[in-house]
Amino acid sequence: MTADIHDIADHRPHLTVTADNGVHVLPCYLVRSVIAGDKPSAVLTEPVLRRIIEEWFQKVTA
């Protein structure tokens, strides 16, 4: 398996999401674009989406 490596410095601010399949660094603008419906949620992997929902759920039910 290969992965593209990008310099995240050009994409700040960003989020770090630790999912089942590893650590993902996501530019905030990408997540905001998904929330706004400008980009499909499919740009985020299933493990990343599950982790984001899990953390959100913990916050709102605490």
Position 2 scores a pLDDT of 72
pTM score of the predicted model: 0.76
Position 11 scores a pLDDT of 72
| Beta-carbon contacts of residue 49 (< 8 Å; ≥ 6 apart) | 41
Q: Please write down the long-range contacts of 37-45, taking CB distance under 8 Å and 24 or more positions apart.
A: 45/19, 45/21
Q: Taking the domains of the chain in order of start, what are their residue ranges? A: 9-61
User: Which of helix, strand or coil describes residue 17?
Assistant: strand
pLDDT < 50: residue spans in the chain:
none
Position 1 scores a pLDDT of 58
Amino acid at 38: D
| Beta-carbon contacts of residue 33 (< 8 Å; ≥ 6 apart) | 39
Position 6 scores a pLDDT of 72
Please tell me what DSSP assigns to residue 28.
Answer: H
